Amino acid sequence: MSYSMKPFLLSATIIFSATAATADQGFYFGGGLSFSRANSDDSFGSESTDTSPAPGLTFGYRFEKGNAFYGPEADIDLFLGSDFEFNNTPCSAGAIGPYYCSRDAVIRLRGIYGQSLSNGLEWFGSGGVGIMIGDGAVAPSGITDKGVNAGFTVGLGLQKSIGRGMLRGEVIYDRLNSSLTKPTEARGFEYEPDYEATTMKISYILSF
């Protein structure tokens, strides 16, 4: 593996082995931890990468029909200490292109659809739109400016009823290449770095 996923694999094992309860229709919220690998291309052939953990929050509404469930969901991942690198050089130490140097948050608005399997275990897929807020390089010295990218997000996961809630494990792919706010240098030149990430996320969801 290119980066450590042991905590997530361990949590996935817990999902399969824990005691089942029953999921409820209605509103739900939860918290979790994600671990992702992100790439940012500056359109000139230079690409920066970042591998960072992020705590996150999830809110949604669950509808049920037979053994299927579906509904809208919003989630946010908040990054602490994110620092993209190019050839093992942190962006904060110097950038050779106008790619993203850090990410503050990723927000997703998506639809969820899934089905019950057995013993409280469920599979689900997700799809929708995402927004990434970060800082893009605008000078080789590592000077940055705020940028916001938008695009699509898809995911696939498993969840299992445990106690009063659901333990969820999922893999999410974000491709956010449309610039809503472009990092801009002092002379007014705007850059349009793209953003792509694959994320493993573990959450605990409670109904209310």
Give 146-193 as a DSSP string: EEEEEEEEEEEEEEEEETTEEEEEEEEEEEEEEEEE--B-TTS-B---
Buried b (16+ CB within 10 A) or exposed e, 48-59: bbbebebebebe
Helix (H) or strand (E) holding 113: strand 100-116
Domains of the chain: 6-207 (2.40.160.20)
- What does pTM read for this prediction? 0.84
Give Cα separations from 181 to 128, 157, 194 (angstroms): 20, 31, 12
**pLDDT digit string, tens, across residues 71-121:** 999 999 999 888 888 877 788 777 767 788 899 999 999 999 999 998 889
Helix (H/G/I), strand (E/B), else coil: 33? strand
**pLDDT digit string, tens, across residues 132-189:** 999 888 877 778 889 999 999 999 999 999 988 999 999 999 999 999 998 887 787 8
Is the pLDDT at 3 greater than 50, yes or no?
Answer: no
**pLDDT digit string, tens, across residues 27-46:** 999 999 999 999 988 666 66
